[in-house]
Amino acid sequence: MKYLKLLPVVLSVFICNNLFAQDTLSTGKPVKTGNEWKMPGDALTRSKKFSDNLKAKLGLDDATAQKVFQAYLANTKSVDEIPMLPITGDEKTARLKANKIAFDETLKGILSPAQFDKYSKLATVKAHK
């Protein structure tokens, strides 16, 4: 009879343990679902530096520089999340390249054709250093 009274307590302990357990990888770290990203403190600084750099080198007006700032800021989340993904280095490199291509397409819509050509040349020179 005593065991029947303890049975609900034991079952509730097992059920509660499973309900409150976190999803983990084999490494024991919590699984990232993509919703945990918090904007790093330097995201605004990086975006401002990027837009100011293009403003100076390409002669952008304030409105275009603001659009470049917003595009870069929106891109920081996807760029910052790639290194945290549980994938190989080659896959991370491929995703970063795909992101760069997509970001360049966004800039192509913001910049004039002459400005985008100059930006492409600047990015090529920077990549070869």
pLDDT tens-digit profile of 43-77? 899 999 999 999 999 999 999 999 999 999 999 98
Q: Which residue has the higher pLDDT, 120 or 2?
A: 120
Q: What is the pLDDT of residue 36?
A: 54
Contact of 68 with 51, CB cutoff 8 Å: yes
CB 107 within 8 A of CB 68: yes
pLDDT at 23 (0 to 100): 47
The answer, yes or no, to whether residue 116 has pLDDT greater than 90, is yes
**Nearest-angstrom CA–CA distance, 96 and 48:** 21
pLDDT value for 85: 86
Q: How confident is the model at residue 115 (pLDDT cuts 50, 70, 90)?
A: very high
- What pLDDT, on a 0 to 100 scale, did the predictor assign at position 84? 83
Q: pLDDT digit string (tens) for 15-36?
A: 655 555 554 444 555 555 555 5
> Lowest mean pLDDT: which of 23-37, 77-91, 95-109?
23-37
- DSSP character string of 67-129: HHHHHHHHHHHHHHHGGGSSS-HHHHHHHHHHHHHHHHHHHHHHS-HHHHHHHHHHHHHHHT-
